[in-house]
C-alpha cells in the first residue's frame, strides 16, 4: 500500500499524471533527459504559432508541481525564433519569475496549462514584435549572454564621462576578473578587505560613459554601432571618447551605465587591436592590415578607427555587477541609506560590542573605529560575533576582519589599546566620530568618559550599553552633548536606578583561577537585546530633536522568578521582553512597550 505522506511517491504519482495528460492532450513524446536528478522527465509537445510549427520541451522538475516546468525549444524551433525576448541562448524560455509567481500544487494540470499558455504568449508577442521593449527591461541578462567575462564595480554613477580605475584581482574560485572604482585606493581597499590578491602593475585607467538613454535592441556589436550609440546619447563631449581611444593602448575597455527607474545597469565593451584581411590585386595575395592608412605603425586615431577604417570590428562584451554599498543596501535591505556616511566609535569589542558592530552594519553604518586591548579566547566565542578561527587575535582585529570580509566597502579602523590610554595620547580623536558607543561593562571607564563629555573634551553623543546576569535585562544611556547629564546621578551606592535584578552581583560566576569571574547570559537573549538597542539607536539618529535618553530592556522575567533570582521592586509586575524609554532630564517613564 502506497504511503500518502512519502514525498517520492507523491511526486512520482503526480509526475505520471502529468505525463499521461500531456500525451493525451498534446500528443507529447518522452525524450531522453539531460539531468535526471533535477528533471526526471522531458516531454516534447507541438504548437502552431503564427503558422509556424514550434516544438516545446517541457522538463518536469523532481518536485513538480511545487515548481514550474522548465521550458525550452528544440534546435529547429530555436533557429527559427532566436533572438526573441525571454529566450536565452541556451534555448530556455523565461516564463515566470518565481519570486513573484508561485505554482498551485493542488492543481498540477493547471500548472502545466499555465506554463504552456505563457510560453505561447511569449513566443507570439516576440514574433509579432509586441514585446521588443522587454530587451531593454532585461538588458543585463541579454548583455551577459554575449559576455566573455565579468567584473565588479563600486563606481559612483555620474552624468558626464570620467576616468576610473580597473584593478584585476583573484579571490578563491570567483569568476569575476576585477573591480572598477573611482579611486585606485578604493578598489585596493575593497580587495584587501575581501582577502583577495592583486598585482599593482595590472591596474589600468579606463573611461566611464554614462548612457542617458536605454540601450536599444539589437545591442551594439561593431565599432560603428558604438559610434552611433555615443552620438545618440550625447554623453558629454563625444570628442572625449575618441581622445580616450586614440590615447589608450588596445585592448581598451569602456565601462558604461544605463539609467532606469529602478537604478543603474552596468556593462563593459572593449575595443581590441584592429585588423582586417586585405586581398591584393596582384596575384590575389592576402595580407592583414592593423594600422590606419597614412599613419605611423602603432599610432591610433579613435574616430577613424571606429567610423572609417574598421567599422565592422567586433567589440568584446563583459558583464558588470554593481556592488556599491548603497546599491546592495537597496537590493538586499530596506533601501534606507541615510546612515552610510556616519562614523561610529565602539569602545569594547566583547560579546555586546561585537554584536553592536554587526548591528550598525545592519542599519547601514559602514565606518567604524573599534577600541579594545583584550584578546579573543575560547571562553568568548559562544556568544561573541567571532569564532574559534580567530581565537588569539586582539578583539578589535578579529571583529574588523570578520566584518570587512562581509562588507568590503567598509572602512574599519582599530586600536588595540585601553580607551583611557588611547585618550591620553589622542585627547580629541573621538570627536571625529558621530557617535561613541561604550560597551565595556566597566562602570569606572564609563564614568570617566562621561566626565570628559561633561567638561566638553568629548563633544559627541555617548551611548553606554551593558547587560545584567542571565540577561534579565539590558541598558543603554544616550547622552547628548547639548543636554548631557552626569552618569553618576543615575547610580545610588553603585546600583543603577533602573537595574532589574535586585542584586546582580550575586549572580556572577567564577572559575578556579585569578580574574576568571564572568557574567552568565546566552547569545540568543543577547541578540534579542541588540536588535532592540539598534532600533533605539536608529530612532536617536533620525530624531531631529536631540535629547538624552535612558533605554531599559526587560528580558525573560518569568525565567528569573522561576530560578529564584530576585527582581528589583520596580520590575516585579513588568512584562517579559519589553522595553521602556526615560527622558534623562525629567526622568518621566514612558508606557511599557511589549515586544511580543
- 382 preceded by a cis bond (ω within 30 of 0): no
Q: Is the pLDDT of residue 236 over 70?
A: no
pLDDT, tens digit (0-9, with 9 covering 90-100), for 20-33: 999 999 999 999 99
Q: How many angstroms separate the CA atoms of 292 and 480, rounded?
A: 69
Q: Residues 171-200: pLDDT tens digits? A: 999 999 999 999 999 999 999 999 999 999
* Cell numbers found for residue 477: 544611556
Q: What is the pLDDT of residue 595?
A: 40
Whole-angstrom distance, CA of residue 287 vs CA of residue 279: 6
Residues 6+ away with beta carbon under 8 Å from 178 = 151, 152, 166, 167, 168, 169
Residues 6+ apart with CB under 8 A from 113: none
| Residue at grid coordinates 530576585 | 566
pLDDT at residue 108 is higher than 80: yes
On average, the pLDDT of the chain sits at 89
Q: What is the DSSP string of 68-129?
A: PPEEEE-HHHHHHH-SBTTB-TTSEE----TTT----TT-HHHHHHHHHHHHHHHHHHHHTT
Query: pLDDT tens across 267-308, in order?
Result: 999 999 887 655 555 555 555 556 666 555 566 788 888 998
C-beta separation of 268 from 215 below 8 A: no
For the cut 60, the answer to whether the pLDDT of residue 10 exceeds it is yes
Give, in order, the Cα–Cα distances in Å from 509 to each of 19, 385, 513: 66, 22, 12
- Residue 592's pLDDT is what? 47
User: For residue range 332-348, what is the model confidence (pLDDT) as tens digits?
Assistant: 666 677 888 899 999 99
Cβ contact 145:324 at 8 Å: no
Residue 314 is given by DSSP the state B
Distance CA 43, CA 32 (A): 9
Lowest mean pLDDT segment, chosen from 2-11, 266-275, 579-588 = 579-588
Instruction: Please report, for residues 79, 81, 137, 143, 146, the alpha-carbon distance to residue 89 in angstroms, rounded to integers and kept in the order given.
Output: 10, 11, 18, 11, 9
In sequence order, the β-bridge partners of residue 278 are 287
**Mean pLDDT of the 341-362 span:** 96
User: Residue written as cell 561610529?
Assistant: 344
State the helix-helix crossing angle for 238-247 and 223-233, rounded to 10 degrees: 150
Residues 6+ apart with CB under 8 A from 246: 300, 301, 302
Tally of residues, the chain: 596
Q: What region, left, alpha or beta, does residue 77 occupy, with left being phi > 0 and alpha being psi -120 to 50 degrees?
A: alpha
| Region of poorest pLDDT, from 2-11, 95-104, 130-139 | 2-11
Q: At what angle do helices 351-362 and 523-542 cross, to 10 degrees?
A: 50
Task: Give per-residue pLDDT as tens, 397-440.
Answer: 999 999 999 999 999 999 999 999 999 999 999 999 999 999 99
Amino acid at each position: 500500500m502506497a504511503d500518502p505522506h512519502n514525498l517520492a511517491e507523491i511526486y512520482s504519482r503526480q509526475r505520471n499524471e502529468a505525463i499521461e495528460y500531456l500525451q493525451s492532450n498534446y500528443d507529447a513524446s518522452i525524450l531522453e533527459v539531460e539531468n535526471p536528478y533535477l528533471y526526471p522527465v522531458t516531454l516534447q509537445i507541438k504548437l502552431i504559432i503564427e503558422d509556424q510549427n514550434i516544438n516545446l520541451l517541457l522538463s518536469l522538475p523532481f518536485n513538480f508541481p511545487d515548481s514550474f516546468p522548465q521550458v525550452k525549444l528544440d534546435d529547429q524551433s530555436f533557429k527559427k525564433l532566436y533572438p526573441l525576448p525571454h529566450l536565452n541562448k541556451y534555448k530556455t524560455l523565461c516564463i515566470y519569475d518565481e519570486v513573484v509567481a508561485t505554482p498551485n500544487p493542488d492543481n498540477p494540470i493547471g500548472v502545466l496549462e499555465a506554463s504552456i499558455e505563457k510560453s505561447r504568449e511569449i513566443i507570439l508577442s516576440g514574433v509579432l514584435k509586441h514585446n521588443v521593449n522587454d530587451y531593454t527591461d532585461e538588458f543585463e541578462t541579454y548583455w551577459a549572454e554575449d559576455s566573455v567575462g565579468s567584473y565588479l564595480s563600486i563606481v559612483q554613477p555620474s552624468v558626464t564621462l570620467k576616468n576610473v580605475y580597473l584593478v584585476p584581482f583573484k579571490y578563491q574560485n570567483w569568476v569575476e576578473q576585477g573591480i572598477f572604482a573611482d579611486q585606485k585606493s578604493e578598489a585596493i581597499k575593497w580587495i584587501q578587505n575581501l582577502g583577495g590578491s592583486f598585482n599593482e602593475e595590472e591596474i589600468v585607467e579606463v573611461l566611464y560613459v554614462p548612457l542617458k538613454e536605454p540601450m536599444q535592441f539589437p545591442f551594439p556589436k561593431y565599432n560603428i554601432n558604438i559610434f552611433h550609440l555615443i552620438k545618440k546619447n550625447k554623453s558629454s563631449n563625444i570628442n572625449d571618447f575618441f581622445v580616450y581611444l586614440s590615447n589608450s593602448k588596445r585592448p581598451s575597455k569602456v565601462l558604461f551605465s544605463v539609467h532606469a527607474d529602478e537604478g543603474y545597469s552596468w556593462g563593459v565593451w572593449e575595443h581590441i587591436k584592429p585588423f582586417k584581411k586585405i586581398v591584393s590585386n596582384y596575384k590575389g595575395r592576402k595580407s592583414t592590415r592593423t594600422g590606419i592608412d597614412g599613419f605611423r605603425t602603432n599610432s591610433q586615431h579613435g574616430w577613424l578607427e571606429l567610423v572609417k577604417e574598421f567599422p565592422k570590428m567586433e567589440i568584446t562584451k563583459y558583464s558588470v555587477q554593481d556592488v556599491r554599498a548603497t546599491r546592495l543596501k537597496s537590493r538586499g535591505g530596506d533601501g534606507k541609506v541615510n546612515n552610510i556616511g556616519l562614523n561610529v566609535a565602539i569602545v569594547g569589542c566583547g560579546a555586546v560590542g561585537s554584536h553592536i558592530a554587526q548591528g550598525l552594519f545592519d542599519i547601514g553604518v559602514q565606518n567604524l573605529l573599534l577600541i579594545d586591548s583584550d584578546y579573543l579566547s575560547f571562553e568568548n566565542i559562544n556568544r561573541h560575533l567571532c569564532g574559534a578561527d580567530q581565537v588569539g587575535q586582539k578583539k578589535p582585529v578579529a571583529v574588523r576582519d570578520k566584518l570587512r570580509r562581509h562588507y568590503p566597502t567598509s572602512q574599519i579602523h582599530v586600536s588595540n589599546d585601553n580607551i583611557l590610554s588611547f585618550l591620553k595620547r589622542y585627547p580629541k580623536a573621538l570627536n571625529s566620530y558621530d557617535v561613541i558607543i561604550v560597551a565595556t561593562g566597566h562602570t569606572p571607564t564609563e564614568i570617566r568618559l562621561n566626565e570628559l563629555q561633561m567638561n566638553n573634551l568629548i563633544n559627541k553623543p555617548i551611548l553606554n550599553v551593558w547587560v545584567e546576569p542571565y540577561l534579565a535585562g539590558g541598558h543603554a544611556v544616550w547622552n547628548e552633548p547639548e543636554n548631557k547629564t552626569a552618569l553618576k546621578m543615575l547610580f545610588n551606592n553603585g546600583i543603577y536606578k533602573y537595574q532589574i535584578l535586585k542584586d546582580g552581583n550575586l549572580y556572577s560566576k567564577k572559575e578556579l583561577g585569578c580574574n576568571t569571574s564572568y557574567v552568565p547570559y546566552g547569545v540568543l537573549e543577547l541578540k534579542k537585546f541588540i536588535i532592540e538597542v539598534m532600533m533605539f539607536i536608529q530612532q536617536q539618529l533620525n530624531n531631529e530633536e536631540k535629547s538624552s535618553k535612558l533605554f531599559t530592556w526587560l528580558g525573560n522575567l518569568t525565567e528569573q522568578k522561576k530560578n529564584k533570582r530576585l527582581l528589583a521592586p520596580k520590575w516585579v509586575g513588568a512584562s517579559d521582553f519589553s522595553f521602556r524609554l526615560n527622558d534623562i532630564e525629567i526622568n518621566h517613564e514612558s508606557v511599557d512597550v511589549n515586544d511580543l
